[in-house]
């Protein structure tokens, strides 16, 4: 089974969870593209990095999810950050350096986020709908959220869309 990004559920609401994500390292590519093509455009660079495309030719285990994120309001930018979460226990200092200058390694601290899961192909229309629902639900629960939005995909693109599992994750402010 593929390792998943580690978190603790702090509270379960009617249609979302409040989670504490544990520190981790991500390999990330910044790309200017439409949402529909951002992940596929950046995926090759990230997959090459974990498949020996690094200075030490070391293979790194694939983890889940593949994260496609915007740092600003989802409707205002075409800049996306596509990332792979590195295996738990990884540190930037112990991971091999990428051969591709587009791939950047970044450490993330402990972070509190809201998360909503959904099934289906995480296309632009469905993802936007889920983001709007999550933001509205968090607002009703008086949880302040950042502008950043993460669309987390757990399944390969060839899996039938109706079987695909995804999550919307948004950092919270307390």
Using one digit for the tens of pLDDT, what is the confidence trace for 51-70? Answer: 988 888 899 999 999 999 99
Q: Which CATH class is domain 3-19+26-112+148-173?
A: alpha beta
pLDDT of residue 164: 96
The residue among 120, 112, 129, 123 whose CA lies nearest residue 15 is 129
* pLDDT for residue 53: 82
- The residue ranges of every structural domain in the chain are 3-19+26-112+148-173
Mean pLDDT of the region 17-40: 94
Between CA 141 and CA 4, with CA 122 as vertex, the angle to 5 degrees is 75
Of the chain, the percentage scoring pLDDT greater than 70 comes to 97
Q: Report the mean per-residue pLDDT for the chain.
A: 93
pLDDT tens, residue by residue, 81-120? 999 999 999 999 999 999 999 999 999 999 999 999 999 9
Q: Do strands 63-64 and 111-119 pair parallel, antiparallel, or not at all (unpaired)?
A: unpaired
- Mean pLDDT over residues 156-161, rounded? 92
pTM of the model: 0.93
- Whether the Cβ atoms of residue 118 and residue 163 lie closer than 8 Å to each other: no
Average of per-residue pLDDT across 122-149? 96
Q: What's the angle, vertex CA 82, arms to CA 76 and CA 88, rounded to 5?
A: 135
> Residue 2's pLDDT is what?
83
| 149: pLDDT strictly greater than 80 | yes
pLDDT digits (tens, 9 = 90+) for 4-23: 999 999 999 999 999 999 99
């Amino acid at each position: 089974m593929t390792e998943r990004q580690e978190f603790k559920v702090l509270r379960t609401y009617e249609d979302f969870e409040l989670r504490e994500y544990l520190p981790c390292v991500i390999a990330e590519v910044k790309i200017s593209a439409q949402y529909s093509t951002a992940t596929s455009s950046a995926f090759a660079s990230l997959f090459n990095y974990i498949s020996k495309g690094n200075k030490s030719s070391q293979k790194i285990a694939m983890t889940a999810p593949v994260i496609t994120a915007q740092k600003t309001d989802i409707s205002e930018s075409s800049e996306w950050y596509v990332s792979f979460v590195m295996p738990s226990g990884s540190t930037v200092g112990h991971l091999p350096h990428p051969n591709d200058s587009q791939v950047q390694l970044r450490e993330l601290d402990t972070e509190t986020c809201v998360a909503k899961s959904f099934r289906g192909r995480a296309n632009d229309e469905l993802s936007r709908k889920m983001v709007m629902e999550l933001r509205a639900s968090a607002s009703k629960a008086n949880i302040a959220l950042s502008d950043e939005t993460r669309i987390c995909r757990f399944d390969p693109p060839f899996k039938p869309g109706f079987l695909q599992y995804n999550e919307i994750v948004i950092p919270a402010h307390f």
